[in-house]
Structure 1
């Protein structure tokens, strides 16, 4: 992996990781509603499938992604539907009420895990990243460098969106929390519909 390929991959990852994807929006929403400590299970849920998919793609599947594109698109549809469900869950969640009701509407490890486990676009993005960063002469060291860069930038992106969500919540105050919920809910809905439309256009 030469210097040019590394920086091409780095710039590509910046765009992929820091954009308003479902994981980043979920992080911002969760930190806003549940605080940093309450968001840790969501964060872990998001990253278990990311690490598994990154290792699989880097060392095993990067050459076969195109052969499984139909199945990846079907998984993406399920992921889009789940994002839309999370949007609904957030939109209908109360700001005030008894503790049990609040806990029922909190995002959990399961929400983060399912969101990224059904994120077919994650596989496609990983295939794109490895195709840009590696050549036929690249060694396993190049694969490790890309995996490490992918993970580090992903962690920074999630953290940035989480901190941004917390700052926005602090500035807005409790009396504007419902408005923030609606904004985040619409963002998730928009991302879910965009993924669904994008995949259906490919299949059709």
Structure 2
């Protein structure tokens, strides 16, 4: 129980602070609503638990041996987030029905796979909470706690985005919201490349 509480205290600021995933889900919550964003959230978190188990099982050692691999993931992730930013900048309004289709399961999974912040957090998490003698059960337990905590954080960010959209219901103010989220995502893409 003590380790569980320590893990949650470690993860809380990391999961709830602005980052590529949180901004992505807030923006999509504003644009499409919480319900329409659920498939992307599930995609992100299915990928999360898979990647967390892989990292807990030794992927961090591979990343240490091949640091260029991390650079490739970082650049691809930034390019993907920039692509998402452009879709917001080009969107004409915040009307849930006229803005195209919400992102789905695959896009959510891609966002995690191309999110270098997630790899860093997972590696750091395991370095603090996984002993050298720990087995698969411990790896799975940490991965499950990490995934569930992130899932809740993203639901909160998505709901906040949906509530913000209520303030921007007419076409003119909805356009301002889309531009704001687009520029924020573009800033996150820049941070991913430079950070």
Report TM bin, short chain: 0.7 to 0.9
Residue 111 of structure 1 and its aligned partner are, at CA, apart by: 2.8
160, 184, 188: which one pairs with 1:187?
A: 184
- 2:150 corresponding residue in structure 1: 154
Residues 2-21 of structure 1 aligned to structure 2 (within 5 Å)? 3=2, 5-21=3-19
TM-score by length of structure 1 reads 0.83
Residue 96 of structure 1 and its aligned partner are, at CA, apart by: 7.2
Return the alpha-carbon distance in structure 1 between the equivalents of residues 45 and 13 of structure 2. Answer: 19
Deviations along 1:27-74, one digit per CA (max 9) or x if unpaired, are 111121112232122223322321220121123424433123320221
- 2:134 corresponding residue in structure 1: 138
Segments of structure 1 that go 5 or more residues without pairing to the other structure are: 199-204
Deviations along 1:139-159, one digit per CA (max 9) or x if unpaired, are 444323311210111111001
Residues 62-141 of structure 1 aligned to structure 2 (within 5 Å)? 62-95=60-93, 102-103=99-100, 106-141=102-137
Aligned alpha-carbon RMSD (Å): 2.3
Return the alpha-carbon distance in structure 2 between the equivalents of residues 179 and 48 of structure 1. Answer: 33
Deviations along 1:53-99, one digit per CA (max 9) or x if unpaired, are 012112342443312332022111111011111111111111179x6
158, 164, 167: which one pairs with 1:171?
A: 167
Return the alpha-carbon distance in structure 1 between the equivalents of residues 105 and 136 of structure 2. Answer: 32
- How many pairs align? 193
TM-score by length of structure 2 reads 0.86
Return the alpha-carbon distance in structure 1 between the equivalents of residues 92 and 107 of structure 2. Answer: 18
Return the alpha-carbon distance in structure 2 between the equivalents of residues 91 and 108 of structure 1. Answer: 19
Change (3 A) 1:109 1:139: closer
Segments of structure 2 that go 5 or more residues without pairing to the other structure are: none
Return the alpha-carbon distance in structure 1 between the equivalents of residues 106 and 87 of structure 2. Answer: 14
